[in-house]
Amino acid sequence: MISNSFIYPSQLGGLKLRSTMDAEVVLTHIICSGWVKNLTMSTLAFDIAQFFPSLNHQLLSLILNKVGLNHKILMFFKNLVDRKTKYLWNKFISPPFNINVDVRQGSVLSPILSALYLSLVFLSLENSLKILKIPISIIFFVDDGLFISQNKSISHSNANIFCCYNIISSLLTKCGLVVEHGKTDIFHFSRSYGAFNPPPLYLSSLGGPISLPKETWRYLGFIFDHKLTFRSHIDFYANKAISTIKCIKLLGNSSRGINPLQKRRFYRCCTLPIVLYSFPLWYYNKVLTYYHLNILQKMQ
């Protein structure tokens, strides 16, 4: 499906080699490539409310049919979400009635079904942006959307993001989905050494909030700052790892409980993955890592 472009290239999550780490690496690459051109990067993150239960089964069936899947596979998906049953009580059998099952979050089939469902939205959005000549990069991780605008003026970036937010809200509404405006966040990236006070983004005319820029921004578990230093991210996960290490003491002492070898295994399996989360984002060639490595050394 990916090789035949049935799934939009920017749709991540639930697919091979498209994890949260891949999404953040792509985002960081776009930001750094924009800085090389002396551009300011602006992002708008939004979330789809009740995404999986809100998928329209009829529209999903039409999309699967358009993909050209085998008839048996189409019938499998149709029977998966549109079911009928009967009640049997002694000799009485009730007439058949519908017991439609939603596309459940956490199901093995949910990621691929949601990716195919949103492919129609992405295609329409891409065509609209081409007509309006709005340069916007898009990243979608399951139901978490992200617009990335590169411009020398933050006001122009806000205007482009506003138009994209308006278009995506309209397209999602036509597909039976709704943007959860309360989770919409605007964030700007800049290498400026002076005071950085970007203007807010007013989405009230679209039913959204007045989005005020923050000092840090959390996206898919990663904590970003304006200059991509990742210091807040390292501090947060180092403290989380230290709390995990303190819990090891409860599992045993010198006389009973787990032995030192088991504690070492616990540290390597449960603590290091926490503190090294996002490691590829901040540790690379010719980058200043004194602060990050110093925090990690104190943690050990």
Quick check: 175 and 57 in contact, CB under 8 A?
no
Instruction: Express as a percent the part of the chain with pLDDT over 90.
Output: 7
Looking at per-residue pLDDT, the higher value among 293 and 113 belongs to: 113
Mean pLDDT within 181-196: 83
Give the highest mean pLDDT range of 62-71, 169-178, 255-264. 169-178
Report how far residue 52's alpha carbon sits from residue 111's, in angstroms, rounded to the nearest whole number: 9
Report how far residue 39's alpha carbon sits from residue 41's, in angstroms, rounded to the nearest whole number: 6
Instruction: Give tens-digit pLDDT for 12-29.
Output: 776 666 788 888 888 888
pLDDT band for 68, please (50, 70, 90 cuts).
Answer: confident
Q: What is the length of the chain?
A: 300
Overall pTM surpassing 0.75 (yes/no): yes
Choice among 38-47, 157-166, 255-264 with the minimum mean pLDDT:
255-264
Report how far residue 165's alpha carbon sits from residue 146's, in angstroms, rounded to the nearest whole number: 10
Closest CA to 167 of 147, 193, 188: 147
Phi, psi of 34, deg, nearest 5: -70, -35
pLDDT band for 249, please (50, 70, 90 cuts).
Answer: confident
Query: In this model, does residue 101 exceed pLDDT 80?
Result: no
